[in-house]
């Protein structure tokens, strides 16, 4: 054990927790993990399953409470209000200060609000923190009808949650399709249809105008951009998230939308770093966005920074992009780059869709070389390892199709559609 000032990590989400665990594997330095939300790391992505009764909140915690003690990682449930980079101290809400050796911001995101009239009313919320979930649970008996605003991943999760508990859900999406900013037309259409099939009142091309309240300040309904009034007892605001850094705006930390970091996840201040949702890359990795608010990148930043803080300075270098989600009953996985509106001279796309089932496979490849660029898969599980290798090794789409069974990850006995898919591809591209 050594007595040097600790590594202080603010935020015990996937980014902060991964860093703490990996740093502990490599070093004996004191580690302090601070979070205001909950004393223990839990999976934010699983909050929906708690509301739906698939899990209890305890299930969302990957480590039993003795884990932290055993690994000598000190936990503290407190809000951090700021820091002094000269004295190397952080300030706690209770007024205490703590000295740090290295300081890492892993403070995550916050739901967006766009100044809608009525957005501060009771029974209006975004879904991000555990406290939001507790709030929703408390309001639940009052909710018969709900309106959800914003057609992204958290929006559809919230729709599924409320629907599972028998609430009538109206889902407002500004674009002409669900998750239009990410998904090409047919992919999004498949989901639109599935959402409707589940009995969700999906309203496309519709924006929120204002939220109406009763005399006690409870949400009573919304008015849409089309002038319709929809009665509801709950409004879920799920139009994206932004880095949770308002409390750092007055510090000397360089921030844009997020905390600006270089490829080593260093901020402009010595011994101060940022990882996860709240970090913004000054020079994004080629082909990637500067802020990637997903689970996996948070984890990888944690892994990378642990290297830098404990043995070797290491640059953040994520491999080919991957992500996954589940939309009611449809599983979705994506690897590499598949644009929602590809530029014809840069990216060619081709998709195959099952005539009845919710299965769709979209391949993105270079128009000239046919080098595989990415894949969207709905209803077929894809083997990460194989896709990862293909994307790193200039595989052509033809080779990929030829070897497609090796790249699937569905349970045994699941039907294999490769012959149909390959035949359809050849039919279209063989001349």
Partner 1 sequence: MNRFTSLSVKSLFTVLGWIGLILLLLPLSNLSSPETWILLASLATLSIGVVGYAYFQYRGELPGIKNNGVFTNSLSARGVWGWSVGVLLTAFYITLYFYPEWLGYRSEGASVGMVALFDPLSQLLNGQPASQWFLYGTLYTLAILVFGVKFLIKYRHSRYQIIRTGSVMFFQLGFAFLLPELLTLLHPDTPYFAKDFKNMWPLNYYFFEDWHVKNMLNGGSLGLFTLGMGLAMIFIISPILTYRYGKRWYCSWVCGCGALAETAGDSFRQLSSKKISVWKLERWMIHVVLVFITLTTLAVLWSFLGSPKNPTGISREIFSYSAIVFFSLLLAAIWFGKRNELHADARFALVGIGVIIIGILCIQLFSGDRHLLGISSYTLRKWYGFGIGAAFSGVLGVGFYPLLGSRVWCRFGCPMAAILGFQQRILSRFRITTNGGQCISCGNCSAYCEMGIDVRSYAQKGQNIVRSSCVGCGICSEVCPRGVLKLENGPVANRTDRPDYPLGNLMDHLDAQ
| Interface contacts to ligand FAD, rule CB under 6 A | 10-16, 34-37, 44-45, 47, 79-80, 106-109, 127-129, 153-154, 157, 244, 247, 276-277, 293-296, 298, 323, 325
Q: Which listed option, ligand FAD, partner 1, none, makes contact with residue 282 (CB within 5 to 8 Å by class)?
A: none
Which residues, 6+ apart, have CB-to-CB distance to 232 below 8 Å?
143, 145, 146, 147, 170, 219, 220, 221, 222
Given partner 1, ligand FAD, none, residue 307, with its beta carbon under 5 to 8 Å by kind, binds partner 1
Binding of residue 407 to partner 1 (CB under 8 A): no
- If one asks whether residue 43 binds partner 1 (CB under 8 A), the answer comes out as yes
| Interface with partner 1, residue 300, by CB under 8 A | yes
The sign one gets for the Cα dihedral 425, 410, 59, 53 is: positive
27, 61, 218, 399: residue in contact with partner 1 (rule CB under 8 A): 61
Query: Closest approach of Cβ 335 to partner 1, in Å?
Result: 10
* DSSP state letters, 34-91: E-SS-SS---GGGHHHHHTTSS-GGGG-SS-THHHHHTTEEEE---EEEEETTTTEEE
- Smallest distance from ligand FAD to CB 304, Å: 14
The conformation of residue 24, written as its DSSP 8-state character, comes to H
Rounded to whole angstroms, the Cα distance separating 293 from 128 reads: 12
The phi-psi region of residue 276 (left if phi > 0; otherwise alpha if psi is between -120 and 50; otherwise beta) is left
Q: Would you give the distance in Å from CA 157 to the centre of its chain?
A: 12
Binding residue for partner 1, selected from 145, 228, 347, 410, defined by CB under 8 A: 410
Site for partner 1 in 165-204 (CB under 8 A): 165-166, 197-198
Instruction: Give the torsion sign (CA, 213, 219, 223, 228).
Output: negative
Q: What is the spatial distance between Cα 383 and Cα 380, in angstroms, rounded to a whole number?
A: 10
245-254 contact pairs (CB < 8 A, 24+): 245/105, 245/107, 245/278, 246/110, 247/80, 247/81, 247/82, 248/82, 248/105, 250/82, 251/82, 251/83, 251/85, 252/85, 253/85
Decide if residue 266 touches partner 1 (CB under 8 A).
Answer: no
Q: Least CB distance from residue 35 to ligand FAD, whole Å?
A: 4
Residue 422 near partner 1 by CB under 8 A: no
- Residue 111 burial (CB count, 10 A): 20
Query: Which C-beta is closer to partner 1: that of 115 or that of 166?
Result: 166
Are 37 and 128 within 8 A, CB to CB?
no
Residue 16, contacted partner among partner 1, ligand FAD, none, CB below 5-8 A by kind:
ligand FAD
C-beta of 156 vs 208, nearer to partner 1? 156
H-run or E-run covering 131:
helix 130-139
- The one of partner 1, ligand FAD, none whose footprint includes residue 36, by CB under 5 to 8 A per kind, is ligand FAD
Q: Which does 107 bind (CB under 5 to 8 A by kind): ligand FAD, partner 1, none?
A: ligand FAD
Of the pair 41, 116, the CB lying nearest partner 1 is at: 41
How near is the Cβ of 420 to partner 1 at its closest, in Å?
A: 17
Is 356 near partner 1 (CB under 8 A)?
no
Q: How far is the CB of 56 from ligand FAD (least distance, A)?
A: 17
- Say if CB 6 and CB 24 are below 8 A apart: no
Q: Residues 183, 194: contact at Cβ < 8 Å?
A: no
CB under 8 A: which stretch of 120-128, 223-231, 240-248, 322-330 binds partner 1?
A: 322-330
CB of 61 to partner 1, least distance (A): 8
Taken as a whole, the chain contains a residue count of 431
Binding of residue 284 to partner 1 (CB under 8 A): no
Comparing CB distances to partner 1, the nearer of 224 and 377 is: 377
Nearest approach, Cβ of 309 to ligand FAD (angstroms)? 16
Residue in 138, 146, 147 with CA at minimum distance from that of residue 172: 147
Least Å distance, CB 198 to ligand FAD, is 18
385 binds, among partner 1, ligand FAD, none (CB under 5 to 8 A by kind): partner 1
The Cα 421–Cα 426 span in angstroms is 9
Backbone dihedral angles phi then psi of residue 87, each to the nearest 5 degrees: -80, -5
65: contact with partner 1 by CB under 8 A: no
Residues that bind partner 1 (CB under 8 A): 14, 43, 45-46, 49, 52-56, 59-62, 64, 164-166, 197-198, 295-296, 299-300, 303-304, 307, 312-319, 322, 324-326, 328-329, 331, 333, 381-385, 388, 409-415
């Amino acid at each position: 054990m050594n007595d040097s000032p600790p590594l202080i990590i603010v935020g015990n989400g996937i980014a902060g927790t991964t860093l703490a665990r990996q740093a502990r594997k490599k070093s004996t330095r004191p580690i302090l993990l601070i979070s205001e939300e909950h004393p223990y790391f839990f999976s934010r992505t699983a909050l929906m399953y708690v509301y739906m009764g698939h899990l209890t909140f305890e299930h969302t915690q990957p480590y039993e409470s003795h884990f932290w003690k055993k690994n000598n990682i000190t936990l503290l449930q407190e809000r951090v209000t700021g820091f002094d980079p000269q004295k190397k101290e952080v300030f706690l809400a209770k007024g205490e200060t703590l000295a740090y050796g290295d300081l890492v911001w892993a403070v995550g995101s916050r739901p967006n609000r766009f100044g809608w009239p009525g957005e501060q009313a009771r029974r209006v919320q975004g879904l991000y923190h555990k406290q939001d979930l507790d709030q929703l649970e408390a309001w639940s008996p009052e909710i018969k009808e709900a309106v959800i605003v914003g057609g992204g991943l958290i929006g559809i999760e919230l729709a599924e949650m409320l629907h599972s508990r028998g609430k009538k859900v109206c889902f407002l999406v500004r674009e002409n399709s669900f998750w239009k900013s990410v998904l090409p037309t047919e992919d999004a259409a498949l989901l639109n249809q599935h959402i409707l099939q589940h009995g969700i009142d999906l309203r496309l091309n519709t924006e929120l105008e204002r939220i109406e309240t009763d005399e006690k300040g409870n949400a009573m309904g919304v008015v849409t951009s089309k002038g319709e009034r929809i009665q509801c007892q709950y409004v879920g605001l799920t139009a994206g998230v932004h880095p949770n850094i308002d409390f750092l705006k007055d510090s000397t930390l360089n921030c844009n939308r997020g905390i600006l970091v270089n490829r080593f996840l260093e901020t402009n201040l010595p011994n101060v770093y940022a990882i996860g949702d709240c970090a913004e890359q000054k020079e994004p990795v080629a082909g990637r966005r500067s802020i990637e608010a997903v689970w996996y990148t948070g984890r990888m930043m944690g892994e990378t920074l642990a290297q830098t803080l404990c043995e070797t300075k290491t640059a953040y270098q994520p491999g080919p992009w991957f992500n996954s989600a589940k939309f009611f009953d449809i599983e979705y996985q994506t690897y590499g780059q598949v644009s929602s509106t590809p530029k014809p001279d840069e990216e060619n796309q081709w998709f195959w869709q099952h005539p009845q089932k919710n299965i769709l496979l979209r391949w993105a490849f270079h128009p000239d070389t046919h080098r595989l660029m990415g894949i969207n898969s709905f209803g077929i599980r894809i083997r990460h390892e194989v896709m990862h290798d293909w994307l790193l090794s200039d595989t052509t789409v033809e080779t990929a199709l030829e070897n497609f069974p090796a790249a699937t990850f569905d349970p045994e006995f699941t039907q294999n559609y490769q012959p149909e898919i390959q035949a359809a591809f050849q039919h279209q591209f063989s001349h």
